[in-house]
Each structure stands twice: as structure tokens, then as C-alpha cells.
Amino acid sequence: QVGQSVKDYGAGLRLRSAVIFGGVGINPQISALARGVDVLVATPGRLLDHLQQGTCALDRVEILVLDEADRMLDMGFIRDIRRILALLPKRRQTLLFSATFSGDIRALAAQFLHQPVEIDVAPRNSTAAQIDQVAYAVDKGRKRELLSWLVGSNNWQQVLVFARTKHGANRLAEQLEADGLKSAAIHGNKSQGARTRALEGFKNGSVRVLVATDIAARGLDIDQLPLVVNHDLPEVPADYVHRIGRTGRAGRTGHAISLVSPDEVDLLRNIERLVKQRIAPQVLPGYEPSPHAVHAPPEPRPPMRGGPRHGGARRPERGPRR
């Protein structure tokens, strides 16, 4: 996506660019690098592969940009980033971009910067004002049922859903598919080709619900995405900001829905403290959470058949099962 933006914005300039990342063949990337580039867009791991093979050199880099800098500087990437920084010229311009910055990450970033200037285009860790944020209280074992009913009854055609784990994303996509909602999962265990196909299907409308882990919260740009659903609240409050930031982009309105089980109330409170906004959970008739759900969360029920005409589970006619 960044590489395409370089081409779009630089269409009138004589700039050569290349994009390198893992999960795809390396030979076309080697050919592109051999021709020389002005702008290189890369993931850390594949960039290190090229550096080790001698197909890329960084000794003439003038500007380094770390997009999603807080994630790049966390424990998952910091070793790779340090190795790359050691190969860059000492005199360069370094820019860090992110929607969120914790105190620890800011302190770490200071190690790489010299007399930096900080530019805030919005209050720190804030969510866009044009995003309507709603939460529904529901038992953990009935989240899929409620999500399916919401999608089907409202005839939502493009819904990005966040799950906490890769296994959970796969399972939820399969259950929604059984409910009559064309769905796909996207996460780190999927091949690059599978991720690309799922995303393209979501963009062109052949996939109605895209279930993702937080890998998709960073950098995923879908034009006019109307709706984001947190099937599971994130453990890290800042990830909530990145998740719902996939909607309400470029000044458009968006909607963010969170399904909150009783054992996630503390996670919701942490999110509220971060974004400085109250998100009081609502209760939908028929989906009232059980008072005992925290101690004994029910297992997900088998997918319901024969839902409303737009797909999805039926709305229950009576109160929640005990």
C-alpha cells in the first residue's frame, strides 16, 4: 500500500521505487534493486535477507522512515531495527510515524534521534471524532451469534472484525460462513498469497466479513470502510485505537462496535482511560449477559441455520439461555 502511494503521489517525478517483503519470491525484488531505487519500501526481515545476500546496500540512505514506529520499536522488531540502523549513515534524517506512543517507546525512540521535533496532528492516543463507538454487553459464548445477527439483520456488506488469536480468527470465519455470511480470515500464519486474496475479496465485495488479528490493525487501508467490530477486546489498549482507525478515514464517518463479555470489562475500562471517552456497554434484548459468565463462560453454540434473508443467525425470541 505504501509502495502504491509512492507511485501515485510521485507520478510526475522521476523517482524509481521498489517494495520488498517476505512471503513472496525474492528474485523479482533482486532485479528491482539491481536497477537502483530512490525510494525503498521494506519490511525489516526481508530487508535483512537482502543485506545478507549483498543485493542491497544502505550506505547512501539519506532519510529513514519508521512507519507504525511504536510497533517497530517494541520487543518484536527492535533487534532487527538495531541491525538495520547500524548499517545506515550516521548523518541522516529519521522520521517516526504512529497513532500511539507509550512512554517506554518514546524513551526508546529518543536513542535513535538527535534533537527531534515532535508534531502532533491530534491529541495523543485519540480516536477520530467522526467514528461512532458503541459497545454491547454479551456472554463470551454468544458473541458469534450476536455478531452474525447484527450483520444479517442490518444487511452490512463490508465488516472488518478483530479477533484476539489466529485460531480464534479462523474459527470465527468458519462459523460466520456456516451462518451464510461469506467470510475470510487474515493473520500472520496465512501465506502472503492467502492474505492478498482475502483482502482483495473483501475490497471487491466477494467477501462480506474479514476476520483479522492485530496484524491487520496496522496499515490496512480500505477505501470508505464503514464498520469495524471488536469481537474480542485487545489486551493492549493502544491496539484499540489502531483497530478502529481502519474506519472513519479521510474525514468520513465510521462505526466501531465492541462486543464486551463480563470478563472483558476491565479491558474496556483501560481503553476508556486511554482514549478519555466513556463507552458504556448497551444490552440488546435476548442477548443479556449471564451474571455467572465471568466464572463459567459458555462454549460457543453450533452455528444456527436458516437465518434472515441477508444471512446471519436468528434473533432469539426469549431471553438468554441459562
Task: Using the predicted structure, report yes or no on whether residue 321 has a pLDDT greater than 70.
Answer: no
Predicted local confidence at residue 248, as pLDDT: 83
Predicted local confidence at residue 134, as pLDDT: 95
The chain-wide mean pLDDT, for the chain, equals 86
User: What value does the mean pLDDT take over residues 273-280?
Assistant: 91
Which runs of consecutive H residues, i.e. helices, occur in the chain? 2-9, 27-34, 44-53, 69-72, 78-85, 103-110, 143-154, 166-178, 192-204, 237-244, 265-275
Write phi, then psi, for 193 (nearest 5 degrees): -65, -40
Predicted local confidence at residue 216, as pLDDT: 66
Tell me the C-alpha distance between 233 and 14, whole Å: 45
Instruction: Render pLDDT for 99-148 as a digit per residue (tens, 0 to 9).
Output: 777 777 788 788 888 888 888 876 666 677 889 999 999 999 999 999 99
Task: Using the predicted structure, report yes or no on whether residue 227 has a pLDDT greater than 80.
Answer: yes
Minimum mean pLDDT range among 59-63, 129-133, 159-163:
129-133
Domain ranges of the chain: 2-110, 131-282
Per the structure block, which three cell numbers stand in for 211?
476476520
CA angle 254, 255, 258 (to 5 degrees): 150
Cell 541522516, residue?
Answer: 92
Task: Using the predicted structure, report yes or no on whether residue 162 has a pLDDT greater than 60.
Answer: yes
Task: Using the predicted structure, report yes or no on whether residue 312 has a pLDDT greater than 90.
Answer: no
Predicted local confidence at residue 310, as pLDDT: 66
Cell 491530534, residue?
Answer: 122
DSSP state at residue 20: E
CATH class of 2-110: alpha beta
Tell me the C-alpha distance between 105 and 103, whole Å: 6
Task: Using the predicted structure, report yes or no on whether residue 50 has a pLDDT greater than 90.
Answer: yes
More confident residue, 306 or 45: 45
User: What value does the mean pLDDT take over residues 305-316?
Assistant: 56
More confident residue, 56 or 250: 56
- Is the overall model pTM greater than 0.75, yes or no? no
Q: Is 211 exposed, middle or buried (0-12, 13-18, 19+ CB in 10 A)?
A: buried
Task: Using the predicted structure, report yes or no on whether residue 36 has a pLDDT greater than 80.
Answer: yes
Q: Which of 45-54, 181-190, 209-218 has the highest mean pLDDT?
A: 45-54
Domain 131-282, CATH number (from 3.50.50.60, 2.120.10.90, 3.40.50.300, 1.10.3720.10): 3.40.50.300
Q: Is 287 exposed, middle or buried (0-12, 13-18, 19+ CB in 10 A)?
A: buried
Q: Is the fold of 2-110 the same as that of 131-282?
A: yes
CB 159 within 8 A of CB 227: yes
Q: Which of 68-77, 143-152, 294-303 has the highest mean pLDDT?
A: 143-152
